[in-house]
Amino acid sequence: MSEQNNSAYSDLLRMLEKAAHLLGLPKTEYDFLLEPERELKVAFPLTFDDGHVEIISGYRTQHSSVLGPFKGGVRYFEGATSDEVNTLAALMTYKCALSNLPYGGAKGGVRIDPRRLSRSELERLTRIYTERVIPIIGPQKDIMAPDMNTNSQVMGWIVDEYSRFTGQYCPEIVTGKPIELGGSLGRVQATGFGVFRLTRNVLEKYGRELRGTRVAVQGMGNVGATAAQYLHAEGAVVVAVSDISCGLYCSSGLNIPEIIEHIHSGGGRPRLLADYPADGVIRIGAKDPLFADVDVIIPAAMENQIDAPEAQNVQAKFVVEAANGPTTYDGTEALLKRDIVVMPDILCNAGGVIVSYFEWVQNLQRLSWSETEVRDRLMGMMDSAFAATWDLAREYSTDMRTAAMMVALKRLVAANKLRGMYR
């Protein structure tokens, strides 16, 4: 157990208890959420192209099924641990409840650096991991999706492996898969678009226009890059971005379309910002966008990026969390004391799971919705979740993170009571 990941789960429990206290809920009404329902750890041999074999560890955590089947991504990350996966699974439970989706939270992880794998090695890894978790997954049990370092191709391999194992084609076992295999239009852009939408919504509530707003984005993966693209297109001035290699800064605004074109020019693997031409831009540290002199920062990289000491260096008025858990509990409290608005992850990055739900529904009914229909439904559900959170924050005179957790907790507790879960 890493101290960082253990701290992340403890932070989540502190948030839960704060929300429960404001709602006046005794612990006996929410204690079913304190621990995951199921944790699976697997280990398997992976044969590399050169013939050598390594034992790889993998995880799948199912946090709560009170609202429906489990739902959550699977990440390939050399630092993956069971504690990290547990925290992310729990976050998915609250995210789904906040968005009013009929899902419980889950998350999977494989401890490996996928950058050192060939395509054939990556496929073998995916198929073996799928075989190991098949006993607990299924289209009505647990539906996987892409996460860090996984993509639609990885989902396609999972579809094929699960279908081969069950003897029937089953595209609804995952979401975020290729369009040709039953994926949904608009799924790739959904999370980043949702971050953009919620940024605009909160600015409007504070009487600010998006056009001219200065923004910095930490993390230019799919989510961060998509959010930056929409913000730039709508007139926001994105002055700083970063990835694991470095950051880029330009006080008058970066050329976001050109940067995204650079990232995608590497073929099958994203090109790093360290390789981006330096003309007209200043190279900064990978974490520096979080402390830039801007109106909005968007942490879109890893968890635990802003703790209490680092919160003192944040200059933005708004923190819009695109990553899962980028701000610690103490970091959030420090930001709130400085009157900085924190838009929580379970609200801001829910676009991906919302459109994943749409994809699942389309697969179950063997339907295909247009991208316009998907986008309209997504905006409606995200705006509804934002309104519910905003209204509860005003009713209880609390912050947006606590209010979001309160909305989710109320729905989870109500469902648990109605189901009459045994004790």
Which of the residues 107, 141, 337, 410 is marked catalytic?
107
Residue 5: pLDDT over 60:
no
Is the pLDDT at 37 greater than 70, yes or no?
yes
141 in active site? no
Cβ within 8 Å of residue 400, ≥6 positions away: 202, 341, 342, 343, 344, 347, 389, 390, 393
Q: How far is CA 386 from CA 211, 238, 389, in A?
A: 21, 24, 5
- Rg (Cα) of the chain, in Å, rounded? 21
One fold for 3-17+24-174 and 188-348? yes
235-282 residue pLDDT tens: 999 999 999 999 999 999 999 999 999 999 977 778 999 999 978 899
Report the C-alpha gap between 128 and 145 in whole angstroms: 17
Q: What is the mean pLDDT of residues 354-379?
A: 96
Cα–Cα distance, 179 to 41 (Å, whole number) = 31
Q: Extract the tokens encoding 393.
A: 């924050």
| 3-state DSSP assignment of residue 85 | helix
Rounded to whole angstroms, the Cα distance separating 283 from 247 reads: 6
The yes-or-no verdict on residue 3 having pLDDT over 70 is no
| Mean pLDDT score, 57-74 | 97
- The superfamily (CATH) of domain 188-348 is NAD(P)-binding Rossmann-like Domain (3.40.50.720)
pTM for this entry: 0.94
Mean per-residue pLDDT, 227-241: 98
pLDDT at 8: 86
Topology of domain 3-17+24-174, per CATH?
A: Rossmann fold (3.40.50)
User: At 8, which amino acid appears?
Assistant: A
Q: What are phi and psi of 342, to 5 degrees?
A: -110, 115
Average predicted confidence (pLDDT) for the chain = 95
> pLDDT per residue over 149-202, tens digit each?
999 999 999 999 999 999 999 999 999 999 999 999 999 999 999 999 999 999
Q: What is the domain partition of the chain in residue ranges?
A: 3-17+24-174, 188-348
